[in-house]
Amino acid sequence: MTTRQENLLDWLRDAHAMEQQAENMLKAQSKRLEHYPELKARIDQHIEETLGQQKLIDECLSRLGGSSSTIKDMTGKIMAFGQAAGGSLMSDEVVKGAMAGYVFENVEIATYTVLIAAAEAAGDFETKAACEQILPQEIAMAEWLLEHLPEITEAFLIRSEDPHLEAKK
Ligand code: MG
Ligand code: FE
């Protein structure tokens, strides 16, 4: 059997690994972007939010007596590295990156929705409050990306047609 507290701790560790992956992915995207300043600025804002989220999850983990450095954290780093490296080889990386970002934010939304329910069930109201603080930031980022995907696409298409311009980043 597995207690509510054990499941909560497991899912908090998963969330910690996810946020490390988010940081790596967002930083890799921001570093490469040159011709899409609005997207880059929104990503930079979310990097700051992501660092705050990591701190909140860290605090929950240490309060529950669990460490955050697990094999899963390493897996996340390797996966993010692979994504970043893979993205830079694509001629449409800005569009694929924004799409991947939207997918990633929705994974985060699902993760914190589960964590809020699990924290409530375990009677851990500090973890619940932390996750309720994080969730709206993920929803806002997902909404921003969805709203801006059409104009990112249009800007990419216009730059692609011009032989003197770079479109991919
Ligand atoms: Mg996040
Ligand atoms: Fe996020």
The pLDDT of residue 12 is above 90: yes
What value, to the nearest 5°, has the Cα angle with vertex 120 and ends 116 and 123?
A: 140
pLDDT, position 130: 98
Condensed to tens digits (0 to 9), the pLDDT of residues 43-60 reads 999 999 999 999 999 999
Q: From the CA of 162, how far away is ligand 2's center (Å)?
A: 33
To the nearest 10 degrees (0 to 180), the angle between helices 71-87 and 4-32 is 30
For the segment 69-88, what is each residue's pLDDT rounded down to a tens digit?
555 555 566 566 556 655 66
Cα(19) to ligand 2 centroid in Å equals 7
User: Could you give all domains of the chain from N- to C-terminal order, each with its CATH number?
Assistant: 4-161 (1.20.1260.10)
Q: Would the pTM of this model clear 0.85, i.e. be above it?
A: yes
Say which ligand is closest to the CA of 19. 1
Query: Separation of 92 CA from ligand 2 center, angstroms?
Result: 22
Helix or strand run (H / E) with residue 29? helix 4-32
